[in-house]
Amino acid sequence: MKVILASPRGFCAGVNMAIETLELALKLYGAPVYVYHEIVHNKHVVERFRQLGAVFVEDLQQVPAKSHLLYSAHGVAPGVRELAIERQLKTIDATCPLVTKVHLEAIRYALAGYRIVLIGHHGHDEVIGTMGEAPEAIVLVESTEDVDRLNFDQTAPGIDPVAPGKLAYLTQTTLSVDDANRIIARLKERFPSIVGPPKEDICYATQNRQEAVRELSRGADVVLVLGSQNSSNSQRLAELARETGVSAYLIDGMADIDPAWFDVSDTVLVTAGASAPESVVEECVDFFVARFGATVEARSLRSEDVYFPLPRELRSAGKAPVATGL
């Protein structure tokens, strides 16, 4: 067996920032530190922080007044921020700057009188936060079929009809690049005057990991993607690998591996979503070496050197980031 380790893989700058933020908050303020939604969509990361004293909540009513509350990397809607102020919560904003960029674009378009088509997945934390910035102006689409059903001549309850030439689109940051481009192309076919952001919303890390899987899957028999089932970018990696014609599995870690998936002569591509820790990758590689006598080869398509600073709430504390230990 041969194992190809894809690069880039694993943690992106936004995930690194969010994890460092929560670690430092626990160090500075002690447990519990409350987190609105999972800090990132990964079972291993979330469980580790639970053991350290983080409390993940879906409703701010679960957070005692005046407690420390951290916003996850996926961002939140303005209504959440307003409720946090009412409850006198001490908030720390670990929203990925690339998600914040999409929020600001939604606000800008809405204030300019545009109707906004958001390309994304219904119920995803990031989509909920973005739509919350201008709920009266945003409609969500998940497919080209959804685009075909759009009818801006009809007024939905509480939504003004769109003026000619006042239509814009935005995208969730963790989409499949290919899927997003197909939907954008269909939007432009149906609505030639539609405008988009000056720079693509899909994040650099999502694109880089998809590019690596697209290229390296061609030389593999099986693709293994490390990431949790609720991780959008990890799901997209597995889907993209299957589109190249190989078997692909999305797993949380070594315990999920079924040896029956593999032959001893297979070439296995191993990658990880942007919220999956490198430790789970290493455990899986060790499994292949021990079980199948695999050789390991690292292949890198490009390097990443993006860094996001800690939130200002923690920078003002004058503390340096701590190592993630993941």
Residue ranges of domains in the chain, CATH in brackets: 2-11+204-300 (3.40.1010.20), 13-95+307-315 (3.40.50.11270), 98-190 (3.40.1010.20)
Q: What is the pLDDT of residue 165?
A: 62
For residues 287 and 294, what is the distance between their CA atoms, to the nearest angstrom?
A: 9
Annotated catalytic, 142? no
CA distances from 165 to 120, 194, 198, 223 (A): 22, 7, 17, 44
Residues above pLDDT 70, as percent of the chain: 93
pLDDT grade for 317, boundaries at 50, 70 and 90: low
Q: Note whether 305 and 13 are within 8 A (CB).
A: no
Q: Is the pLDDT of residue 326 over 50?
A: no
| Mean pLDDT of the 164-182 span | 90
> For the packed helices 204-216 and 232-243, what is the interaxial angle rounded to 10 degrees?
30
Helix (H, G, I), strand (E, B), or coil: what is residue 103?
helix
| Mean pLDDT of the 205-224 span | 95
Q: Note whether 221 and 267 are within 8 A (CB).
A: yes
pLDDT grade for 65, boundaries at 50, 70 and 90: very high
| Mean pLDDT of the 34-46 span | 96
Instruction: Tell me the CA end-to-end span of the chain in Å, nearest whole number.
Output: 27
Taking all residues of the chain, what is their mean pLDDT, rounded to a whole number? Answer: 92
- Given the residues 126, 215, 278, 283, select the one marked as catalytic: 126
Q: In this predicted model, which residue has the larger pLDDT, 39 or 320?
A: 39
Return the amino acid letter for 182.
R
Q: Is the pLDDT of residue 42 over 60?
A: yes
| Mean pLDDT of the 264-268 span | 97
CB-based contacts of 91, cutoff 8 Å, min separation 6: 68, 69, 70, 71, 81, 84, 313
Q: Is the pLDDT of residue 162 over 70?
A: no
Cβ neighbours, 10 Å, residue 247? 15
Q: What is the pLDDT of residue 199?
A: 83
H or E stretch at 215: helix 204-216
- 0.75 exceeded by pTM: yes
Q: What is the pLDDT of residue 322?
A: 42
Q: How many CA atoms lie within 13 A of 158 on its CB side?
A: 6
pLDDT grade for 153, boundaries at 50, 70 and 90: low
